[in-house]
């Protein structure tokens, strides 16, 4: 069951100004009260024009309650409440559907733990001038990962290499979540056909977008270490279980590991 808390839309003077693309930033949360208030304010410091949708899976730490308290005084903030932990993939799909239903032009997805720093949002938005999907990539010059042990780096390389080969994807970073999408292209996706519910959603949605004719570009993004409170709040992860994202017929590579 979904429950949406929102406040009236901010007025936009589209007659007197050149129209800018309406952008929705989506953030899936579970127990992110230590991170979300600062993250929201930091996003608006670099991109004051965007609206933010928080998709909260009934966080016991009050993350959703904080959103409810903030929305009456902040028309750029919305909160979508879900009954429980239903998976990162379904949360992202909920954000995509919201963007479609509410007439946004762009949807930018990011994590709540500051591993995707808001300072890179303007670069992702700029990439949309020539593309339908901009990927914040760790694996282009200027990107990178910090504080990852060798085993995790190797697994990430394996997952991304396999996904590129198996699914015919051009990006070297197929498993990251920091991305911007053109909403008109999302309208072409049959979300009911998506099988992934967890982290493997990231590879599967790129495959569907590729089939829909998406133009991709990449912007460098150095992945940061999550802020305090984020690591213990992530969903349980299994070490080397294959991912089953199977866009018709492929099997998952690395379980619930965020790679």
pLDDT per residue as tens digits for the range 100-145: 999 999 999 999 999 899 999 999 999 999 999 998 887 555 555 5
Range of the domain at 25: 20-233
Question: Total domain count for the chain?
Answer: 1
Residue 14 lies in a domain: no
pLDDT in tens, 48-73: 999 999 999 999 999 999 999 999 99
Residue 250 lies in a domain: no
The DSSP secondary structure of 139-205, one letter per residue, reads SSTT-EESS--HHHHHHHHHHHHHHHHHHT---S--S---EEEEHHHHTT--GGG----STTHHHHH
d(CA 259, CA 244): 14
pLDDT in tens, 220-254: 777 666 665 543 344 433 332 334 433 444 434 33
- Please count the CA atoms within 13 angstroms of the CA of 240 that sit on its side-chain side: 4
Cα of 69 vs its chain's centroid, Å:
24
CATH number at residue 46: 3.90.550.10
d(CA 64, CA 61): 8
pLDDT in tens, 140-169: 555 555 665 666 655 655 565 566 656 656
Mean per-residue pLDDT for 179-205? 90
């Amino acid at each position: 069951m979904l429950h949406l808390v929102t406040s009236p839309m901010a007025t936009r003077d589209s007659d007197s100004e050149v129209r800018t693309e309406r952008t929705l930033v989506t953030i899936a949360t579970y127990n992110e009260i230590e991170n979300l208030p600062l993250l929201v304010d930091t996003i608006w410091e670099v991109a004051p024009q965007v609206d933010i949708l928080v998709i909260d899976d009934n966080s016991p730490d009050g993350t959703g309650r904080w959103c409810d308290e903030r929305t009456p005084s902040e028309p750029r903030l919305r909160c979508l409440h879900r009954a429980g932990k239903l998976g990162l993939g379904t949360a992202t799909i909920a954000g995509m559907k919201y963007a479609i239903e509410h007439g946004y032009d762009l949807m930018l997805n990011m994590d709540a733990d500051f591993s995707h720093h808001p300072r890179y949002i303007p670069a992702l938005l700029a990439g949309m001038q020539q593309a339908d999907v901009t990927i914040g990539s760790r694996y282009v010059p200027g990107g990178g990962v910090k504080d990852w042990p060798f085993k995790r780096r190797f697994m990430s390389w394996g997952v991304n290499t396999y996904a590129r080969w198996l699914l015919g994807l051009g990006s070297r970073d197929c498993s990251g979540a920091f991305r911007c999408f053109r909403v008109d292209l999302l309208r072409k996706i049959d979300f009911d056909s998506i099988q992934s519910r967890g982290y493997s959603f990231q590879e599967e949605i790129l495959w569907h977008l590729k089939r829909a004719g998406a133009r991709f570009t990449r912007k460098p993004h150095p992945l940061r270490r999550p802020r305090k409170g984020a690591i213990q709040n992530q969903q349980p992860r299994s070490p080397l279980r294959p991912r089953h994202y199977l866009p018709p017929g492929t099997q998952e590579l690395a379980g619930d590991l965020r790679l």
